[in-house]
Amino acid sequence: MRKYFTIFKYGLKMNTTFMLDYFFQLISFFVHVWVFNSLWDFILKDGTAAGYTRQELIWYIIMAEFVTYSISQGYKKVSEKVKDGTIANLLVKPIHYPLYFMAEESANLVKIGINLIGLFVLGFMLGGKITITRMQLGLIIISVLFSILIGTIMQLILGLVAFTMEEVKSLWLICQKLQFLLVFVPLEFYPSWVQKFLLLIPTSYIEYVPARILVKFDDVRSIAMLLGMQVMWVFALSIVSAMLFKKGVRKINANGG
């Protein structure tokens, strides 16, 4: 594991070199939240929508955006390595590429830290004070970790699809749009048949779960089920990524490396 820790440290060093990029992303974070804050101000005033107050919706969007901005578009790195043949060079080294990728992406701690500052600043400026229990805070942290893990593994999967499809950006755009369905509004805003569909796909467990725990900690049974689904998707997506990687390696070997 020491070699992966070295990769993580190198990635951390690279991330701290380009801090300005993160601050520009933070501006985008602020703009998105401000727009929806204005929207809910106009629509709700002192009312509620789908059982959510204006304050809850603002905090929901802030948490959902925090998770979204904490996951990088890692599929680009993977697909480029597949297309230009760089991945073949990595295969002859004593590393397992999926773990190499995960170690690289773990270096996004810098971005996550900056986004966390943005979360608290925006939250108290626009959403106001929110009260959470210790248990709630612990579950939020666990859920955010699972959310980032699900999102990162999905990025790996999209990148590995390049072994079969030369251009995978279209797939990423589909996943991104599905993900956005629960970034700006909670699951409860949709008709029951749409809710049932969304609960069947992994993108729904990235932003919705931590944001829901933050603003609606009223049904422990439902929250336990959502966390269980996050764990299930981490395992399921890990298996899919392992299968795609093995298939890609076989393809490289069949073509002579």
* φ/ψ bin of 169: left (φ > 0), alpha (ψ from -120 to 50), beta (otherwise): alpha
| CB count in 10 Å sphere of residue 120 | 11
Which alpha helices (H) appear in 161-191, and where do they start and end?
169-180
Q: Which two tokens stand for residue 15?
A: 């991330």
Tokens of 33: 């939240």
**Structure tokens given for 79:** 């697909």
pLDDT band at 255 (very low <50, low <70, confident <90, very high): low
Q: What digits encode the pLDDT tens for the residues 44-99?
A: 776 788 788 888 888 898 889 888 888 888 888 888 888 777 777 777 777 788 88
What is the arithmetic mean of pLDDT over 132-138? Answer: 89
Q: Who wins on pLDDT, 94 or 15?
A: 94
pTM for the model: 0.89
139: Cα separation from own chain's centroid:
17
Give me the domain span that covers residue 113. Answer: 2-254
Instruction: Give SS3 for 35.
Output: helix
Q: How many domains does the chain fold into? A: 1
Residue 63 and residue 214: Cα distance in Å, rounded?
Answer: 8
User: What is the residue type of 66?
Assistant: F
**Residues in Cβ contact with 3 at an 8 Å cutoff, skipping those fewer than 6 apart:** 94, 95
pLDDT for res 79: 85
SS3 153: helix
Angle between helices 75-84 and 97-106 (to 10 degrees): 140
Q: Which of 13-27, 106-120, 131-145 has the highest mean pLDDT?
A: 131-145
Residue 197 pLDDT class (50, 70, 90 cuts): very high
Least confident span in 2-11, 178-187, 202-211? 2-11
Computed over every residue of the chain, the mean pLDDT equals 83
According to the per-residue pLDDT averaged within each range, which of 8-12, 83-87, 197-201 is highest? 197-201
What pLDDT, on a 0 to 100 scale, did the predictor assign at position 207? 92
Q: How far apart are CA 201 and CA 179, in angstroms?
A: 10
pLDDT in tens, 137-170: 899 999 999 999 999 999 999 988 888 887 888 8
- pLDDT beyond 80 at 28: no
Pick the closest to residue 241 from 149, 145, 161, 143 (CA basis): 161
**Percent over 70 (pLDDT), the chain:** 89
CA dist., res. 153 & res. 159, Å (int): 10
Quick check: 244 and 97 in contact, CB under 8 A?
Answer: no
